[in-house]
Amino acid sequence: MNIIITGASKGIGKAIAEQFAAAGNSLFLCARNEKQLHATADELKLKFPQSTINIKPVDMRKKEAVQSFADWCLSFGVPEIVVNNAGQFLPGSVHSEPDGILEQMIETNLYSAYHLSRALLPVMIKIKRGHIFNICSIASIAAYANGGSYSISKFALLGFSKNLREELKPLNIKVTTVLPGAVYTDSWSGSSIDPKRILESDDVAKMIFTASQLSPQACVEEIIMRPQIGDL
């Protein structure tokens, strides 16, 4: 199967790529950091020689770059699975965060998924097959201190995902919203947080892979995951 994963060079995106590569799929990965993306691709090719790893450095904040990435992916065929994972977290409060943070969060966390989905959906609709995963956050359903524009953008992504699910039901395309709590990624490295206190990237990846393996008539609409002893 052809699997598209954005923001795939590290963290949750990389863990998702590992799950699908292990199953021998053809992966189409993108990320902003070209060096890190190449390193991830080399690692995946060595570890999972049965899979095909295709990469393209992309800044998903830019509509034209997203369209170019979509066209590149479609040149290989129609994707069966699309994982809108590209995102960024910048802490802050609405009343005091620097000017422009909201725009940056919306462009990165919402528009990236919106524009890529719109670019790919015409061909997916034509064959009436596919599965889109949108990586939201617990911040999509619960406000918290220092969440600021990040939380606003994730609330918006959840709204997009819910609307997309309703629109695509009769077209036989699945949409799954993934809402993880704190996951130990680079955002937490160097902090005082015990890695055992929060989720692992692989926890999220395993749930996504499992949801993708169900029968055609079954759709997991939402995956909500939290650390065992609760949110931070």
Quote the CA–CA distance of 117 and 111 in Å, as a whole number.
10
Annotation says 150 is catalytic: yes
Quote the CA–CA distance of 209 and 16 in Å, as a whole number.
8
pLDDT at 134: 98
pLDDT at 195: 83
pLDDT at 192: 77
pLDDT at 113: 98
pLDDT at 232: 82
Quote the CA–CA distance of 61 and 86 in Å, as a whole number.
9
3-state secondary structure 33-65: CHHHHHHHHHHHHHHCCCCEEEEEECCCCCHHH
pLDDT tens for the chain, 232 residues long, are: 999 999 999 999 999 999 999 999 999 999 999 999 999 999 999 999 999 999 999 999 999 999 999 999 999 999 999 999 999 999 999 999 999 999 999 999 999 999 999 999 999 999 999 999 999 999 999 998 899 999 999 999 999 999 999 999 999 999 999 999 999 887 766 677 888 888 999 999 999 999 999 999 999 999 999 999 998 8
**Active-site choice (111, 114, 144, 150):** 150
2-225: CATH number: 3.40.50.720
Predicted confidence (pLDDT) per residue in 156-177, tens digit? 999 999 999 999 999 999 999 9
pLDDT at 194: 85
Question: pTM of the prediction?
Answer: 0.96
pLDDT at 149: 97
Quote the CA–CA distance of 191 and 140 in Å, as a whole number.
23
CB burial of residue 100 (10 Å; 0-12, 13-18, 19+): exposed
